[in-house]
Amino acid sequence: METKKKQTQQTLTRTPGYASRWDSQMEDLLEQYRGREAFSFDVDQDALYRQYKDRYTRQGKLAMEDAQGQAAALTGGYGNSYAQSVGQQTYNQYLEKLGDRVPELYQMALERYDREGEALLDQYDLLAQQEQQDYGRYQDQAELAKYQVQAMLSLGFRPSQSLIDQSGLSEEYVSALLQAAAAAAAQEEAEKSASSGSGRGRRKTSSTTQTVDRSANKGIDDQAGVANTAWKNAVSTLETLYNQGKTDKADAYLNTIKDHMNQEQYVQAMNIWVKHHN
């Protein structure tokens, strides 16, 4: 029981954003367990002992009277000391039988006390199991949200605030990745413009403008698609997740970025998806 008590009293480590449905009930059960008085046994307050006492006392008196009567018949009357002595000895024998019951009653009371404590711990453990299941689901959802947020950030899009909150990622982290993606896209655009030459009407695109343009989200008909470097990173991430057996996370990642692909990228992504779902 001591081992179980130690296991039960271990603190559940959880993400700060997680809200438990069971905390108050679990805490109440622990308080009940910790608040129990130490075991003690008062034989006179034990209900079963009182029943035995009544029974043995009644039987002892009857046996005493019977013994006194038999002794008196042999010695010439109830008032003689011999008859009284025989009757008292008989009565004491019944009281000794009552005394012999005390260790048994003590053990029974101790077992009841232990069972009551076990029952509280069992209730706590049932709630703790439910808590762990809830938290496991929460972690899975948070991890999926994290992949979705990182996927969008890698493409230069800012996820919704609710998705960021669910992922558990900090605002500083989100802003840093968004700025890095925007800088990478701007650099890639600048390199493309430089290679195309000034005679082709080079377009000046700031990182801010590119982020806004992409947020229009024209779907797979958007001929621009995902920028080359970002697309290579996206394909690498997708393949890695599938190869690691994280199919749910890979599918969530794919669903997050698919609306930003051009037709060619979409076909490539679907080929990857088919390969890992057959």
Mean pLDDT by 10 residues, the chain (278 residues): 46 60 90 91 89 86 80 64 78 85 91 93 92 87 81 77 81 80 73 62 36 39 68 86 87 83 86 86
Q: What are phi and psi of 38, to 5 degrees?
A: -60, 150
Indicate the average pLDDT of the chain. 77
Q: Can you give the pLDDT at residue 15?
A: 56
Hey, where are the domains in the chain? Answer: 43-100, 144-275
Q: Can you give the pLDDT at residue 11?
A: 40
Q: What is the pLDDT of residues 58-74, one digit of tens each?
A: 888 888 888 777 777 77
Residues 244, 259 contacting (CB under 8 angstroms): no
Residue written as token pair 């001591």? 2
d(CA 218, CA 11): 49
Q: Can you give the pLDDT at residue 14?
A: 52
Q: Which candidate, 137, 173, 158, 170, places its Cα nearest to that of 248? A: 137
Quick one: tokens of 71?
Answer: 């002794």
Residues 269, 258 contacting (CB under 8 angstroms): yes
Q: What is the pLDDT of residues 224-277, one digit of tens each?
A: 777 777 788 888 888 888 898 888 888 888 888 888 888 888 888 888 888 888
3-state helix, strand, coil in the chain (%, to 5): 75, 0, 25
Q: Can you give the pLDDT at residue 170?
A: 80
Percent of all residues in the chain with a pLDDT value above 90, rounded to a whole number: 15
Q: Which candidate, 148, 193, 107, places its Cα nearest to that of 158? A: 148
The model's pTM: 0.51
